[in-house]
């Protein structure tokens, strides 16, 4: 089971890697921290309730009520916890996202030390929005470790105000509360939808699944294959404000298909809709049902907006969409990026480019905040957070 693997071998090795960088940086008191930002996930079933509470408390992600957000979050998390606990139990007792985030961050810093020695030593950190280690705890650790230079590296390849924007807001709140003397100078990698490693890794994983279909059937014909790129959906009231996310996910999809020479049919679909509001579609489950019902089409699902496995891949796609379909043998899920060396090399390349060009943030980041808040001054804090 996943829980046994992560609890024993995997976590032990990742923790060893992190400790090595801890000792290096404490001795020199310099270098560059690389902070992987993501939503996170509960590493064990008992953590589910707090994870849900943190998630529904985030007004940037789920705008319920500025005055009663936490009260409503407490009610919703209490109501949903038993159901979500069962889901995490079914995928091995917890989310692997912490393990993979630590693994990826550690490998990136290991390679950065060799490729970009002028900003070395590089130290990996993980800052989750809704699970341990929470962003505030990570900021406290950065200060304790004497960090003076840090790169906030979003692990949402495609920007959305609901995800990366929320993490940036939380980072700014933590800076104001914990770092009033501005000990740490920050910059941010706020999007990377066409990153070469991201594109190549997905292309490799798709081709691997195509080969599985070929091995299983001597009469397999790629004309009967459709690639479904599945990304987490967003409410339409977020999209209608001009959020960057749909366009950037589409950019990732198109670039991956370019790498594959457009030799397969494909569509971009959206998963994980909750609540009564209209959400961005078409929904993954609906399209799978439509294409899978005749029993002749082969489908490959690609979790294109996720950098590792978690509940949306291991439960929603594997145990719901695929397992409950009429012809599950005709559907395969493309492997998540996880420990792909191709992908990790892409993350390294993104960091090297960012550090060598001394970028603070992309030109679009201010506009993202202006549109999300309908306020021409909404992005002004970025210059304070990420000085030129």
Catalytic residue among 248, 312, 345, 350: 312
Active site residue 55: yes
Q: Quick one: tokens of 182?
A: 């501005």
- Among the options 122, 191, 232, 354, which is catalytic? 232
- Of 316, 318, 350, 368, which is the active-site residue? 316
37 noted as active-site residue: no
* Catalytic residue chosen out of the listed positions 21, 99, 103, 130: 130
Is 61 assigned a catalytic role?
A: yes
Q: Is 130 a catalytic residue?
A: yes
Give the 3-state secondary structure of the chain.
CHHHHHHHHHHHHHHHHHHHHHHHHHHHCCCEEEEEEECCCCCCHHHHHHHHHHHHCCCCCCCCCCCCHHHHHHHHHHHHHHHHHHHHHHCCCCCCHHHHHHHHHHHHHHHHHHHCHHHCCEEEEEEECCCCCEHHHHHHHHHHCCCCEEEEEECCCCCCHHHHHHHHHHHHHHHHHHCCCCCCEEEEECCCCCCHHHHHHHHHHHHHHHHHHHHHCCCCCHHHEEEEEEEECCEHHHHCCCCCHHHHHHHHHHHHHHHCCCCCEEEEEEECCCCCCCECCCEHHHHHHHHHCCCCCEEEEECCCCCCCCHHHHHHHHHHHHCCCCCHHHEEECCCCCCCHHHHHHHHHHHHHHHHCCCCCCCCHHHHHHHHHCCCCCCCHHHHHCCC
From the list 25, 61, 299, 337, the catalytic residue is: 61
* List 21, 25, 37, 39, catalytic entry: 39
Helix axes 48-56, 69-90, angle to 10 degrees: 140
232 is a catalytic site residue? yes
Catalytic-labelled residue, pool 47, 190, 309, 368:
309
From 122, 129, 191, 333, active-site residue: 129
Active site residue 260: no
Active-site residue, selected from the candidate residues 55, 301, 337, 385: 55
Please indicate whether residue 335 is annotated as part of the active site: no
Task: Give the residue numbers marked as catalytic.
Answer: 39, 55, 61, 129-130, 232, 309, 312, 316
């Amino acid at each position: 089971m996943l829980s046994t693997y992560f609890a024993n071998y995997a976590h032990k090795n990742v923790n060893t890697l992190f400790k090595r960088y801890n000792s290096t940086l404490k001795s020199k008191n310099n270098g560059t921290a690389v902070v992987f930002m993501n939503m996170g996930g509960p590493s064990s079933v008992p953590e589910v309730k707090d994870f849900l509470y943190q998630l529904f408390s985030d007004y940037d992600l789920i705008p319920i009520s500025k005055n009663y957000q936490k009260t409503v979050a407490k009610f919703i998390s209490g109501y949903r916890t038993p159901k979500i606990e069962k889901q995490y139990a079914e995928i091995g007792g917890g989310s692997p996202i912490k393990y993979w985030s630590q693994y990826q961050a550690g490998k990136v810093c290991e390679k950065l030390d060799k490729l970009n020695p002028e900003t070395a030593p590089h130290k990996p950190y993980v800052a989750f929005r809704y699970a341990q280690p929470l962003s505030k705890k990570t900021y406290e650790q950065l200060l304790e470790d004497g960090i003076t230079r840090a790169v906030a590296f979003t692990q949402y390849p495609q920007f959305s105000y609901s995800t990366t924007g929320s993490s940036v807001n939380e980072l700014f709140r933590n800076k104001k509360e914990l770092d009033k003397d501005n000990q740490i100078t920050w910059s941010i990698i706020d999007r990377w939808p066409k990153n070469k490693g991201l594109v190549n890794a997905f292309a490799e994983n798709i081709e691997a699944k195509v080969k599985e279909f070929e091995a299983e059937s001597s009469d397999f014909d790629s004309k009967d294959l459709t690639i479904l790129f599945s990304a987490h959906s967003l409410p339409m009231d977020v999209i209608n404000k001009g959020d960057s996310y749909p366009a950037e996910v589409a950019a990732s999809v198109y670039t991956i298909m370019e790498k594959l020479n457009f030799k397969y049919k494909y569509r971009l679909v959206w998963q994980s809709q909750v609540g009564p509001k209209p959400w961005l579609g078409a929904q993954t489950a609906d399209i799978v049902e439509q294409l899978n019902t005749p029993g002749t089409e082969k489908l490959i699902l690609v979790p294109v907006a996720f950098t590792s496995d978690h509940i949306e891949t291991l439960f929603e796609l594997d145990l719901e969409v695929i397992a409950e379909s009429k012809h599950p043998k005709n559907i395969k899920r493309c492997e998540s990026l996880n420990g792909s060396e191709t992908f990790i090399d892409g993350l390294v390349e993104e960091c090297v480019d960012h550090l060598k060009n001394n970028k603070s943030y992309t030109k679009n980041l201010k506009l993202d905040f202006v549109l999300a808040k309908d306020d021409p001054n909404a992005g002004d804090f970025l210059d304070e957070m990420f000085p030129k």
